[in-house]
Homo-oligomer: A and B are copies of this chain.
Amino acid sequence: MKKLINDVGSVVADTLRGVAAAHPSLRVDVENRIIFRRDAPRPGKVGLVSGGGSGHEPLHGGYVGYGMLDAACPGEIFTSPVPDQIATATTGVDGGAGVLHIVKNYTGDVLNFEMAAELSGDEGVEVARVLVDDDVAVRDSLYTAGRRGTGATLFVEKIAGALAESGAPLAEVARVGREVNDRSRSFGVALTPCTTPAAGTPTFELGDAEIELGIGIHGEPGRTRAAHREAREIVRLAMDAIDDDLPLSGETLVMVNGMGGTPLMELYIVFAEVAAYLEEKGATAVRSLVGDYVTSLDMQGFSVTTCALTGELTRLWDAPVETPALRWGR
């Protein structure tokens, strides 16, 4: 294993030092492992907090800033953040209007965010939660009861963040976040496994001519293993799974997301096929992202996430955002 690290034990702290050095718009609490928006808490604004295992960068720290998250809590690699950490973030961003937790549906994350909400409640902070469970690939998995949360997390963070920025109350911000999740679906495909610094070996084995369909973002098993094939056929398998679950139609927000080790050329090749598939179904990719947004370390592969837009959701998606990994309008 070759990784650009100093020590297996300091990977998360060293990453946070880099984030702090690179982004003056953020305030990084390296000791407590929290990435804050520099101007948090903002009086009267609903605070948004997310978090989860490290190794999925830019999720979540890359989405802290104007119009999106107020704080992110990275855990160890592929490991949930702890309740105290989340509670410190929650009280730290409360500007008196309450705080929304955006939680990917993994058992550890769900439990620790719940405990953090209780701890924060004891401090007088009102907390609401949006649970993200957009992955259609598997019903239950190694780390989840119910569906896993993947790419839609970013959509929820962006759209709920925009509504919070406009001064909306907590219940409204939570409502729009849930609506985004309800309208979003994801499916992922792996060409290779990933290697965590601690393990030093691949999370699973995959043959030279095999792919894993319905992969999660921790290298956990997917729906099935299949023979490698042309991009357009792989895309069809992924899109069929999404369309079977929630038929595609109308104006759609689409993300073709790289798993960390996939060349950008290949993601564009995938996007071309996704756009063609949507057209076949009478849907249109009116907004899109192509790139590494929710990764699994060095894994090669991609995920597709769709969200059936409404006028309100499109307007909130288009609203200004200024974070390390997503920026427009300012």
Report if A14 contacts B (CB, 8 A): yes
Contact B21 A271, beta carbon cutoff 8 Å: yes
Contact B275 A21, beta carbon cutoff 8 Å: yes
Contact with B along A48-62 (1 / 0, CB 8 A): 000000110110001
- Say whether chain A's binding surface is mostly helix, strand, loop, or mixed: mixed
Which chain B residue shows the least CB distance to A228?
B2
Q: Pick the residue among B15, B22, B234 that contacts A265 (CB under 8 A).
A: B15
Contact A2 B271, beta carbon cutoff 8 Å: no
Report if A188 contacts B (CB, 8 A): no
Contact with B along A156-198 (1 / 0, CB 8 A): 0000000000000000000000000000000000011000000
Contact A2 B265, beta carbon cutoff 8 Å: no
Report if A241 contacts B (CB, 8 A): no
Which chain B residue shows the least CB distance to A54?
B265
Task: State the Cβ distance, A261 to closest chain B Cβ, in Å.
Answer: 4
Report if A311 contacts B (CB, 8 A): no
Give the contact stretch, choosing among A113-121, A123-131, A144-152, A291-299. Answer: A291-299
Contact B268 A19, beta carbon cutoff 8 Å: yes
For residue A268, which residues in chain B have a CB less than 8 angstroms away from its CB?
14-19, 22, 57
- How many angstroms between the C-alpha atoms of A209 and B264 in the bound complex? 27
Contact A272 B14, beta carbon cutoff 8 Å: yes
Task: State the Cβ distance, A25 to closest chain B Cβ, in Å.
Answer: 11
Contact with B along A204-242 (1 / 0, CB 8 A): 000011010000000000000000101110100000000
Q: Pick the residue among B263, B269, B290, B302 that contacts A6 (CB under 8 A).
A: B269
- How many angstroms between the C-alpha atoms of A203 and B197 in the bound complex? 25
Contact B231 A5, beta carbon cutoff 8 Å: yes
Report if A288 contacts B (CB, 8 A): yes
For residue A14, which residues in chain B have a CB less than 8 angstroms away from its CB?
231, 268-269, 272
Give the contact stretch, choosing among A81-89, A96-104, A322-330. Answer: A322-330
For residue A328, which residues in chain B have a CB less than 8 angstroms away from its CB?
322, 327, 330
Given A4-B234, A11-B269, A231-B4, are A18 and B290 neighbors across the interface (CB < 8 Å)?
A: yes
What 7 additional pairs, Cβ within 8 angstroms, besides A18-B267, A54-B265?
Answer: A2-B208, A4-B270, A6-B269, A21-B272, A22-B290, A263-B297, A327-B328
3 tightest CB-CB pairs across the interface, nearest first?
A: A18-B268, A18-B272, A4-B266
